[in-house]
Amino acid sequence: MKPEHNATSDLQDFDPNYPPYVERVFIFDVPAKQTPMRLDVFLTEYIANATRSKVQTAIDAGNVTVNGAIAMKASRKVLPLDHIECRVMRPPPLALVPEAIPLEICYEDDSVLVINKAAGMVTHPGFGNRYGTLVNAVLYHLGVREAIPLEASNDEAFEEDNDNDTEASNEDDEELAPSFFAPSGSEASLYAHDSVRPGIVHRLDKDTSGILVVSKEISCHAKLAKQFADRTAKRQYYALVWGKVKEDVGVIEGNIGRSSRDRKIMSVVAQGGKYACTEYEVIERFGACTLLALKLRTGRTHQIRVHCSSIHHPLVGDEAYGGLQPNISGGNSNSAAIRHHVTALLQAIPRQALHARTLGFTHPVSGAWLEFAAELPADFAAALEVARAFTK
């Protein structure tokens, strides 16, 4: 089998993050000793990541030919010496483009780079977020000036598009990031390039602000990644959640997995999922919300957001997990005063109110303990002022 790429539309007018799709053609010359089997079964078996339903869709659309004729039925038998072509539409391959984007650098030496990431910045490129990411900015900061083309893996032919601006993506609050030094899954081709040197050790959601560390050397990346995996690195988050959290300190436990209602988000699940545990401490209570400091004992996708929502205290502004329509206990949540306060808070911080405030780790070369703290960004601080002004 061999894929071929052909442009399918004019490149003049398009969002650069969503460029025109290209056609990929998979060609099979069936061996003489091939056992006859259904066409959809054959293609599902021989194209990585293909599903039978997606193959059937391609057949129904007339995108599969056998011996030059369009295959009319998925049940058609594949016979020895058949020549099969299957066409699918995919986004074009990614490229890493250095961009002169300002970064707030907290610390830098020859081995590591500590950055206070602004809310609204995606950590690394992906389909739907090819530009404007932290990686684009770091590449430029480290002196890279030429774009680095990256061929997409053949394995991605039938995969869903990845969009770091959606919860279905691999953009993840707490889990280790696939990096240029330690790629994982289908992202391997994106990060395995000799010219690329920044190693993203961990990542934050697009709309989560705060501290993260970038490794500048392969050996340092491995040592830093181990600290995050072993939970010996120190990380503290601040979150503003709806309602008054009763206990001064507490622990939230509950397995986290894909939501059965919406695969784009996560949820606490009764069966399956992965064990997750979050510690919290109340920093300040307000009339309708609470400021929490949180520490992760595990690192699951959107763990803080999911856990806080599961105890009926979703993060202010968290669209995916109930933070736009809070159910505030202890009063009439539909009163004019409450509605006005909710609107004011959401206007002050139009994103989830989550900030990676503290990061500490052992330097991978010197062995010294380094610790950094990022003050709350302006929108988070403004939300706290609105919260303090409200009394029920």
The DSSP code sequence of 5-42 is EEE-S-SSSS-TTSPPPEEEEEEEE--TTPPPEEHHHH
Q: Alpha helix locations (H) across 47-172?
A: 52-60, 134-141
Tell me the two tokens of residue 252: 């939230």
Distance CA 185, CA 228 (A): 19
Distance CA 152, CA 279 (A): 40
> Kindly report the CA angle at 165 between 162 and 166, in degrees rounded to 5?
70
Q: Alpha helix locations (H) across the chain?
A: 39-46, 52-60, 134-141, 188-191, 218-230, 303-310, 336-348, 378-388
Catalytic-role residue among 205, 230, 262, 318 = 205
Tell me the two tokens of residue 16: 């650069």
Distance CA 224, CA 364 (A): 6
DSSP 152: P
Instruction: Indicate the angle between helix axes 39-46 and 52-60, nearest 10 degrees.
Output: 120
DSSP 156: G
- Reduced to 3 states, what is the DSSP secondary structure of residue 243? coil
- By C-alpha distance, which of 208, 34, 50, 183 is closest to 121? 208
Distance CA 150, CA 147 (A): 10
Torsion of CA 90, 91, 96, 100, to 10 degrees: -170
Distance CA 332, CA 338 (A): 8
* Active-site residue, 172 included: no
Active site residues: 205
